[in-house]
Amino acid sequence: MNAFEVLLIAIGMAMDAFAVCLGVGTIQEASGPRRTFRLAWHFGLFQFIMPVLGWYVGKSLLHFISPFDRWLAFGLLAFVGGRMIQSGRGSGEREMRRDPSRGWSLVLLSFATSIDALAVGLSLGLLGITIWYPAAVIGVVTGLISWAGVILGNRLGVKFGQRMEIIGGVVLILIGLKILIG
């Protein structure tokens, strides 16, 4: 597998993370350089770790996860998306809103967008391809693309306000449905 093929895989793997970061970026509580870095770092880190895990664990764990991996990803994205919609429809009480770049929301989003990377790692292992270079490229590309998604989402959120937060929540749920349907 050459570097261009690895880059194409990395870009493809980063698209869900980009869409999620675009939606999350619309929330004003997720704006600012520290929060942007946290989101990009964790999305990139999870996209690096999951192919490595898939490569190491192989068929045994995939057999147990594959029957419900799509439902798991859908459930996590729908939960966070539903919270964003509820927050966007709220009465403007900012203290009730939660920062999705912290705590369990960040972990759930990072995990949900990187489940497919587990299968990529498994596939690369079955092909006999060493995992470290592709995993590093996938992680770095996802981090950079996620950063761009948050920045763009922040700009849209400032311009369009709470409507963008509702749209961001709907986008997360639609990404979850896309994963569920296949």
Which has more confidence, 71 or 96?
71
Rounded Cα gap, residues 51 and 10, in angstroms: 11
pLDDT at 134: 93
The whole-number average pLDDT for the span 99-125 is: 81
* Cα separation of the two ends of the chain: 25
pTM: 0.73
Residue type, 44: G
The 10s digit of each residue's pLDDT in 18-52 is 888 888 887 766 678 888 899 999 999 999 999 99
- Dihedral of the alpha carbons of 24, 174, 11, 51, in degrees to the nearest 10: 90
